[in-house]
Amino acid sequence: MKHVEISARPSEETPETPSVDVTLNINGDTYRMRFDSRVTLLDALRDHLGLTGAKKGCDQGACGACTVLVDGKRVVSCLGLAAQYEGREITTVEGLADNGELHPMQDAFARHDAFQCGYCTPGQIMSAVSLIAEGRADTEADVCEFMSGNICRCGAYPNIRAAIRDVVTEGNDASL
């Protein structure tokens, strides 16, 4: 477990925008951070920690590109303040691989070419991992319904669904 301390740049802190000290548990590592109290979890991940897997799509919680897992549940990270997630287990797409081995869902996405431009792919993968853990991947209709919060502008939905079905039918352990 690695412990890292990160501070906001001095110009970010003003009397109008107080800074907060936050300890985040991300991908098995602990990060002590100080930043503007209005920093979202997405911005903390991308801008402060360099974990750029979660993407900023709509910045309104509607597209799913920023999906991460918090305590095993999917969360759109653009809507929550980073300070809200102190003490919770956060997993990003960077944290899925295990000792250099792709997570079964990552592998299935690659095998099924379940991406085109790739922008939505990390959020799609994180939602798919959670979907299976939630027990909501029993039917094609279930997969369509419970993945509907993740938008793919390229239209790779058939391949995304095929990748999810593959992980379910192969009985791969898609848990974390």
Q: 3-class secondary structure for the chain?
A: CCEEEEECCHHHCECCECEEEEEEEECCEEEEEEEECCCEHHHHHHHHCCCCCCCCCCCCCCCCCCEEEECCEEEECCCCEHHHHCCCEEECHHHCCECCECCHHHHHHHHCCCCCCCCCHHHHHHHHHHHHHCCCCCCHHHHHHHCCCCCCCCCCHHHHHHHHHHHHHHCCCCCC
Residue with tokens 């990060």: 31
Total Cβ atoms within 10 A of residue 4: 12
Q: Give me the amino acid identity at 103.
A: H
Q: Is the pTM of this model over 0.85?
A: yes
The pLDDT assigned to 11 comes to 45
The pLDDT assigned to 170 comes to 86
In tens, the pLDDT along 35-58 reads 999 999 999 999 999 999 999 999
d(CA 52, CA 135): 28
* Cα separation of the two ends of the chain: 17
Q: pLDDT tens for the chain, 176 residues: list them.
A: 566 666 655 445 556 778 999 999 999 999 999 999 999 999 999 999 999 999 999 999 999 999 999 999 999 999 999 999 999 999 999 999 999 999 999 999 999 999 999 999 999 999 999 999 999 999 999 999 999 999 999 999 999 999 999 999 987 666 66
**Burial (CB count <10 Å: 0-12, 13-18, 19+), residue 52:** middle
Q: Work out whether strand 3-7 and strand 73-76 pair parallel, antiparallel, or are unpaired.
A: unpaired
Domains of the chain: 3-92 (3.10.20.30), 104-170 (1.10.150.120)
